[in-house]
Amino acid sequence: MTFEMGEETREVQGTWDISTYKYLIDGAGMKLLVDSMKEKKIRGIKCPQCETVYVPGPTFCRKCYIDIDEVVEIGETGVVMSYAVEMADVRGNPLEEFRLTAMIKLDGADTWIIGTISGMDWHDARIGMRVKAFWVDEPVGSLADIDRFEAI
Protein backbone atom coordinates (compact mmCIF):
# COMPACT_ATOMS: atom_id res chain seq x y z
CA MET A 1 0.00 0.00 0.00
CA THR A 2 1.29 3.47 -0.77
CA PHE A 3 0.34 6.72 0.87
CA GLU A 4 -1.46 9.25 -1.28
CA MET A 5 0.77 12.30 -0.91
CA GLY A 6 -1.69 14.93 -2.10
CA GLU A 7 -0.55 18.53 -2.35
CA GLU A 8 2.96 19.09 -1.07
CA THR A 9 2.62 22.74 -0.24
CA ARG A 10 0.52 24.13 2.60
CA GLU A 11 0.73 27.26 4.65
CA VAL A 12 1.11 27.74 8.38
CA GLN A 13 1.17 31.13 10.00
CA GLY A 14 4.40 32.38 11.51
CA THR A 15 5.59 35.61 13.05
CA TRP A 16 9.05 36.82 13.80
CA ASP A 17 9.01 38.71 17.06
CA ILE A 18 12.56 39.90 17.36
CA SER A 19 12.04 41.86 20.53
CA THR A 20 13.92 45.09 21.25
CA TYR A 21 17.58 45.63 20.53
CA LYS A 22 19.89 47.84 22.51
CA TYR A 23 22.68 49.19 20.32
CA LEU A 24 25.79 50.84 21.71
CA ILE A 25 26.76 53.64 19.35
CA ASP A 26 30.12 55.18 18.76
CA GLY A 27 29.45 57.65 21.54
CA ALA A 28 32.43 59.89 21.07
CA GLY A 29 32.06 60.55 17.35
CA MET A 30 28.28 60.75 17.37
CA LYS A 31 28.19 62.87 20.52
CA LEU A 32 30.56 65.34 18.91
CA LEU A 33 28.19 65.70 15.98
CA VAL A 34 24.89 65.97 17.87
CA ASP A 35 26.37 68.26 20.54
CA SER A 36 27.62 70.60 17.85
CA MET A 37 24.25 70.48 16.11
CA LYS A 38 22.70 71.82 19.28
CA GLU A 39 24.77 74.96 18.61
CA LYS A 40 23.76 74.84 14.92
CA LYS A 41 27.29 73.78 14.01
CA ILE A 42 28.66 70.70 12.33
CA ARG A 43 31.90 69.14 13.56
CA GLY A 44 33.84 66.18 12.30
CA ILE A 45 37.07 64.37 13.10
CA LYS A 46 40.26 64.65 11.07
CA CYS A 47 42.94 62.01 10.67
CA PRO A 48 46.34 63.62 11.28
CA GLN A 49 48.02 61.11 8.97
CA CYS A 50 45.94 61.03 5.76
CA GLU A 51 44.04 64.26 6.58
CA THR A 52 40.67 62.70 5.80
CA VAL A 53 37.87 64.62 7.55
CA TYR A 54 35.06 62.30 8.61
CA VAL A 55 31.49 63.49 9.32
CA PRO A 56 30.07 61.83 11.34
CA GLY A 57 33.46 61.25 12.91
CA PRO A 58 34.57 57.72 13.77
CA THR A 59 37.20 57.44 16.50
CA PHE A 60 39.69 55.62 14.29
CA CYS A 61 40.78 56.15 10.69
CA ARG A 62 39.59 53.43 8.31
CA LYS A 63 42.69 53.73 6.13
CA CYS A 64 45.50 54.55 8.56
CA TYR A 65 44.08 52.30 11.31
CA ILE A 66 44.98 54.70 14.11
CA ASP A 67 42.96 56.45 16.79
CA ILE A 68 41.88 59.94 15.73
CA ASP A 69 40.50 62.79 17.82
CA GLU A 70 41.19 66.10 16.07
CA VAL A 71 37.95 68.06 15.95
CA VAL A 72 37.30 70.17 12.86
CA GLU A 73 34.42 72.53 12.18
CA ILE A 74 32.66 71.94 8.90
CA GLY A 75 30.64 74.38 6.81
CA GLU A 76 26.86 74.23 6.62
CA THR A 77 27.01 74.52 2.86
CA GLY A 78 28.05 71.80 0.53
CA VAL A 79 27.62 70.04 -2.76
CA VAL A 80 25.17 67.31 -3.78
CA MET A 81 27.18 64.18 -4.60
CA SER A 82 24.12 62.13 -5.54
CA TYR A 83 20.39 62.26 -5.03
CA ALA A 84 17.35 60.02 -5.07
CA VAL A 85 13.66 60.78 -5.42
CA GLU A 86 11.46 58.81 -3.06
CA MET A 87 8.16 58.05 -4.81
CA ALA A 88 6.95 55.13 -2.66
CA ASP A 89 7.81 54.03 0.86
CA VAL A 90 9.71 50.82 1.56
CA ARG A 91 6.44 48.86 1.77
CA GLY A 92 5.54 49.99 -1.71
CA ASN A 93 2.89 52.58 -0.83
CA PRO A 94 3.07 55.50 -3.29
CA LEU A 95 3.83 58.87 -1.67
CA GLU A 96 1.55 61.81 -2.33
CA GLU A 97 4.50 64.16 -2.22
CA PHE A 98 7.79 62.94 -3.60
CA ARG A 99 10.79 63.41 -1.34
CA LEU A 100 14.14 64.56 -2.67
CA THR A 101 16.92 62.95 -0.65
CA ALA A 102 20.61 63.51 -1.17
CA MET A 103 24.14 62.72 -0.10
CA ILE A 104 25.89 65.98 0.53
CA LYS A 105 29.59 66.68 0.88
CA LEU A 106 29.78 69.61 3.24
CA ASP A 107 32.53 72.15 2.66
CA GLY A 108 35.57 70.99 4.61
CA ALA A 109 34.49 67.36 4.88
CA ASP A 110 35.65 64.34 2.90
CA THR A 111 32.69 62.10 3.66
CA TRP A 112 29.04 62.70 2.80
CA ILE A 113 26.08 63.25 5.07
CA ILE A 114 22.47 62.47 4.28
CA GLY A 115 19.68 65.01 4.04
CA THR A 116 16.44 66.09 2.45
CA ILE A 117 16.30 68.91 -0.08
CA SER A 118 13.20 71.09 -0.03
CA GLY A 119 11.89 74.03 -1.97
CA MET A 120 12.51 72.79 -5.49
CA ASP A 121 11.06 70.53 -8.17
CA TRP A 122 13.02 67.29 -8.17
CA HIS A 123 13.29 67.49 -11.97
CA ASP A 124 15.63 70.43 -11.45
CA ALA A 125 17.92 68.59 -9.04
CA ARG A 126 21.42 67.79 -10.26
CA ILE A 127 24.65 66.38 -8.97
CA GLY A 128 27.10 69.14 -8.20
CA MET A 129 24.34 71.50 -7.07
CA ARG A 130 25.27 73.67 -4.05
CA VAL A 131 23.01 73.45 -1.03
CA LYS A 132 22.79 74.96 2.45
CA ALA A 133 21.54 73.46 5.73
CA PHE A 134 18.51 75.02 7.43
CA TRP A 135 18.11 74.33 11.11
CA VAL A 136 15.05 73.71 13.22
CA ASP A 137 14.15 76.68 15.44
CA GLU A 138 15.16 75.00 18.67
CA PRO A 139 17.85 72.36 18.14
CA VAL A 140 17.99 69.71 20.84
CA GLY A 141 21.19 67.90 19.90
CA SER A 142 19.80 65.33 17.51
CA LEU A 143 20.34 64.34 13.91
CA ALA A 144 16.94 65.88 13.20
CA ASP A 145 18.24 69.33 14.11
CA ILE A 146 18.99 69.95 10.43
CA ASP A 147 15.46 70.50 9.17
CA ARG A 148 16.33 70.45 5.47
CA PHE A 149 18.71 71.57 2.79
CA GLU A 150 17.88 74.09 0.09
CA ALA A 151 19.61 74.92 -3.16
CA ILE A 152 21.69 78.11 -3.10
For another protein, the binding residues (CB under 8 A) are: 12, 14, 16, 18-19, 21-27, 58-60, 62-63, 65
Least gap, CB of 19 to another protein (angstroms): 6
Least gap, CB of 124 to another protein (angstroms): 34
Least gap, CB of 67 to another protein (angstroms): 8
Instruction: Answer yes or no: are the C-beta atoms of 57 and 64 closer than 8 Å.
Output: no
Least gap, CB of 126 to another protein (angstroms): 30
Nearer to another protein, 30 or 136 (CB): 30
Nearer to another protein, 63 or 126 (CB): 63
Instruction: Answer yes or no: are the C-beta atoms of 73 and 33 closer than 8 Å.
Output: no
CA dihedral 53, 58, 59, 60 (to 10 degrees): -70
Nearer to another protein, 60 or 134 (CB): 60
Residues 104, 82: Cα–Cα separation, whole Å? 7
Taking each continuous run of H as one helix and of E as one strand, the counts in the chain are 1, 8
Nearer to another protein, 60 or 135 (CB): 60
CB 116: neighbour CB atoms within 10 A?
A: 13
